[in-house]
Amino acid sequence: MECSLADAPFDPASELSRFGGRVDGCGAIASFSGVARPLSKQGSDVSALLLESHPRLTLLSMEDIAEDARKRFEIRSLRIVHRHGLVAPGETIVFVAAASPHRRAALDAVDYMMDRLKTEAVFWKREDTPAGSSWIEPTDDDYADRDRWDHSPRN
């Protein structure tokens, strides 16, 4: 289980390659990369996304999510990399990967971790647009995505 904060752009393909090189004996590797959007929900151009974090609390929140995924799904290895600081549109914000003997556990683990990261990881997010800056919170849909795991069977 590896979680880290990145304060500079990183390459998700390189992360996946390194991760894949350390998961012998697994039949499945699933990953997800999230990218900063160029437009706000209101349709304004986003010049930057600021992700403020608390180095220890943010990392602990990520590690808790990873540990819960490890316990819930039959995964042998996982990796989370999350940016903090200023992120330009098009840059990768988050990379999540899981390895398992079988595909369903790996796919579900990645989906589960993303739903939890989006709503529970300790970050403060601000979008900068020509009209000004605004703080963003998880949406009702984000919480609904997370809450569906409370009603799904455990693997």
**Residue ranges of domains in the chain:** 2-37+46-149
Angle, helix 103-120 to helix 140-147, in steps of 10 degrees? 140
Supply the CATH classification number for the domain 2-37+46-149.
3.90.1170.40
- pLDDT score recorded for residue 103: 95
What integer is the mean pLDDT of 91-109? 97
Terminal CA-CA length for the chain: 19
What is the pLDDT confidence band of residue 86, given thresholds at 50, 70 and 90? very high
pLDDT the model gives residue 154: 52
Contact status, residue 7 vs residue 59, Cβ threshold 8 Å: no
pLDDT band for position 153 (50/70/90)?
low
Instruction: Calculate mean pLDDT across residues 124-128.
Output: 96
